[in-house]
Structure 1
Amino acid sequence: MPRNAFRTLRLVAATSVMALSVSLGTGTAYAERPPVVDPGLLPAGGPAAPPTETEHPANAPCISTQTGGDGPTIPPAQRSLDLEHAWQFSRGAGQLVAVIDTGVAHHPRLPGLIPDGDYVAAGGDGTEDCDAHGTLVAGLIAASRVNGQGFAGVAPEARIMTIRQTSSQYQAKGAGHDKGPDDMPDGYGKISALASAVRRAADAGARVINISLVACPTTRPESREFGMLGAAVQYAATVKDAVIVASAGNTDSCQASNPGLDPLHPNRDLWDNVVSYVAPALWDDYVLSVGSVDSFGRPSEFTVPGPWVGVAAPGENIISLDPRDSGLTTAKFTKQGQRVPYSGTSFAAPYVAGVAALVRARFPELSAQDVIERIEATAHAPAEGWNPYIGYGAVDPVAALTAEVPNLLPPKSPSAAVSEQLPIPTPPPPPDHTARNVALIGTGVIGLLLALGWLASFPLRRKLGMRDDH
């Protein structure tokens, strides 16, 4: 029986502006699932242009980065994946990975970068990364290996195709008329454009599509634009056989977070308490959603939990390609000059997208759904088997490339607690001290004989009144 048989069909749709993680409104939770997707809402893949006119305000320069991370030291997040071992089996050769993000800048460690359009700036080709985000995502997926450099992408022989869909440094044209000189732009990114970008990437032959951005409305999504996005991910996954990997969302950008497991009711249906509808992650029949773990493998505090989360990957203190330089970067700076390390589920997702590229290169016969199930089945599972923070567990590239996987995954719900009476141990037999006793007795006898011999050696003459004559 396929995994989808365990899933109840779900509910979706709503209008919203999308950025890296934009949450909208407040409201009441509904115990409903994503809906049956309407293929009739599938958008066209082109032209790749902003749905409305946009502007880049003069007071919103592109984000500055901090260089660093170069050298032979392997970054901790990368080391935890044991990529040196995984590369013995696959390096992602022949795989095209689409990065739908803030753009991917040209970089010497992304050879063969394919520009495929810009839904933010008219006339753009997707290679401007004003937000210092998409280039890092692409680097985590497919940065080439360089002698003397510890950092490399998960699939260093894969190719990247860039489609810019969002930017925090742009806004709709005219939106700045009532803003002050220090006011930040509104940001720009439409869900309808994301839907078009997904279809565009799939039609261009992308075998893996990475979406490190979310929309997370707190009211039930019902708009036509969300319906278009649902149709696009279904089309890409089932018709074009693309593996779609998406971030699970961050609590600092989504207005609300979903509750985790209730220890008093561990088997309660988590869909009953959804308050943040994270898209496109919630279409988990077609999307592999990724949460974040820290350097110790613990769930990151910022991950938005949800019944759709599939797996997790490192997402804290990330090092990757610098969009402002030919090297690496460890942090960015806010407009006020504050240094901000790179962390978020946005950076956990590309690690998993890279693993998907490795698996597709090693097992070209596997369907997109098979690839997702292999990654989930070989992850380091939590005690519950699955939980809403890390899904089926932290991804394991080596296991995904080498392990025998089960034919059936359990549904996305924690395993029920089991009460089991352990057998009472059989009492151990009494210790046998025979050898010790024999040894002690023998030692005592020998000691006694020695003592008697020593006493017998004393001269008896004095006792008998005898003495020497001279």
Structure 2
Amino acid sequence: MRSRLARLAVVAIVIALTTAGATVPPPDPARAAEYWLDDYGIRSAWETTRGAGTTIAVIDTGIAQGPAEFSGAVKAGADFSGVGSADGRTPVGGDADKNHGTWVGSLAASRGTGPDAGMIGVAPEAQLLSLSIGFGENSAIPFTTQVAEAMVWAVDQGADVINLSFTTNLLEWDPSWDDAFMYAYDHDVVVVVAAGNRGTGTDRVGAPATIPGVLTVGGVDRTGTASQEASTQGITIGISAPSEELLGVSPDGRIVVWDGTSGAAPIVAGVAALVRSAHPGMDAANVINRIIRTARPVPGVSSTPDPLYGYGLLDAGAAVTANVPAVSANPMGDLAEWIRIYRRAEQEPAPVPSATPVVLPELPAADARSDPGPPLLPTVDTLVYGTVPLLGFSLAAILVALGVTAAVRRIRSARASR
């Protein structure tokens, strides 16, 4: 998410002049800098739909009210950090975080400042929900609680797509997220998640990008190559989208250049809104399936999903218009099954005992009972194995004792005669 103003000095200076009110000849510099609109088929998709009738929930640090690019874009909001405003439109956090939610929202569905001017989002006719949460120490409320409550609220407000541009850097997630994400899936919501960035210390995808069923977005540079700093890797990545040299509208109205899968995710969330707008009856599983199955192959990548690119590079035009066979399950996984296996929320039913009697062969007849005879008389066995050996041992012991006694007497007699 770091700024790239130094590397893009020309674009940034022109944008700054536009913000300051200087006269700049067409084409509009902000619109011209949005290379992803053409390179990833978004303008092509606009020939079919611009996202009307859909709602994208941005669970982030809040979408600011000031920028003109959001005029008419945000239909509702709420704060879950405990430190923002009730409508979710006051950016939460320190200087490094306050811009984040507004940048994310602008990539998803900003309106521009005119027909061909200002930054425009991927789905410029979709509605936004602004749900403000606090990262790190920016809230006394546990982060997992904020996210879980925001997910449920977004679903209840009619979100078609939920965008999560953050990572915990951990493979595991809090059990409270099980219910929150299942609530979204049960209400047919597409959940789009950023894979995270190596530049911020994330080597591999972390939750929520590891949760089954989400569409995890990896990042690429302008050449379509996996970004070394502004992306990460992992087997849960489903699709790749631009994560470098992105634009974002700041809360104060300035347009900046930034990097990160935090920006790649709302581009994909916007495309999900375009697909849902073009195909109103399509369920979330098939929306995700269209996005990954129409992805453009990456040169040199022979198998999919790939840990860097997922199923390939985003192609918005194909996702909206291509003929893709329907699926009956979410291709990104089944959270309910994961919960059943790993949380042990359900147990396999116990086997039902069979009521059919089992026929066993009859036992052989018992041996005839022998007469033991009088109990005080010895038997042959007791004589052979008990009485006779005992008498022999006793007799031998007596003889030994007598011999020893005689020897002792002879010795004493011999001593006395001396």
Larger radius of gyration: 2
Question: Structure 2 counterpart of 1:199, which letter?
Answer: V
The correspondence for 2:78, drawn from 101, 114, 117, is 117
State the 1:370 CA deviation: 0.7
Question: Structure 2 counterpart of 1:349, which letter?
Answer: A
Determine the structure 1 residue equivalent to 2:311.
392
The residue matched to 2:56 in structure 1 has which SS? strand
Q: Deviations over 1:80-138 (max 9, x none)?
A: 22322211101000111100001100132221413421122346231122521111111
Q: Deviations over 1:247-269 (max 9, x none)?
A: 011123345x24xxxxxxxxxxx
Change (3 A) 1:109 1:381: same
The correspondence for 1:329, drawn from 255, 264, 267, is 255
Question: Structure 2 counterpart of 1:372, which letter?
Answer: I
CA RMSD of aligned residues (A): 2.7
The residue matched to 1:307 in structure 2 has which SS? coil
Counterpart check, 1:157 vs 2:125: yes
Answer yes or no: is the 8 Å Cα contact 1:78–1:151 preserved in 2. Answer: no
TM-score where L is the length of structure 2: 0.66
Determine the structure 2 residue equivalent to 1:432.
none
Question: Structure 2 counterpart of 1:114, which letter?
Answer: K
Determine the structure 2 residue equivalent to 1:253.
200
C-alpha distance in structure 2 between counterparts of 1:190 and 1:245, whole Å: 18
The residue matched to 1:91 in structure 2 has which SS? coil
Determine the structure 2 residue equivalent to 1:297.
224
C-alpha distance in structure 1 between counterparts of 2:296 and 2:330, whole Å: 15
TM-score where L is the length of structure 1: 0.59
Q: Deviations over 1:338-363 (max 9, x none)?
A: xxxx1111000000000000000000
Determine the structure 1 residue equivalent to 2:191.
244
The correspondence for 2:36, drawn from 77, 91, 94, is 77
C-alpha distance in structure 1 between counterparts of 2:312 and 2:118, whole Å: 26
Change (3 A) 1:150 1:74: farther
Determine the structure 1 residue equivalent to 2:88.
126
The correspondence for 1:108, drawn from 50, 65, 68, is 68
Change (3 A) 1:116 1:406: same
Question: Structure 2 counterpart of 1:165, which letter?
Answer: I
State the 1:233 CA deviation: 1.1
Q: Deviations over 1:417-438 (max 9, x none)?
A: xxxxxxxxxxxxxxxxxxxxxx
Determine the structure 2 residue equivalent to 1:196.
149
C-alpha distance in structure 2 between counterparts of 1:293 and 1:310, whole Å: 13
Change (3 A) 1:411 1:324: closer
Change (3 A) 1:207 1:380: same
Counterpart check, 1:234 vs 2:182: yes
The residue matched to 2:292 in structure 1 has which SS? helix
The correspondence for 2:322, drawn from 400, 403, 406, is 403
Question: Structure 2 counterpart of 1:236, which letter?
Answer: A
Q: Which runs of 5+ in 2 are unaligned?
A: 2-11, 19-27, 93-97, 333-418
Q: Deviations over 1:141-163 (max 9, x none)?
A: 11114233263111000011100
User: Which structure ranks higher in relative contact order (CA pairs < 8 Å, sequence separation ≥ 6)?
Assistant: 1
Q: Which runs of 5+ in 1 are unaligned?
A: 1-19, 21-64, 173-187, 259-275, 332-341, 413-470
State the 1:229 CA deviation: 0.9
- Which structure's residues are more often helix, by fraction? 2
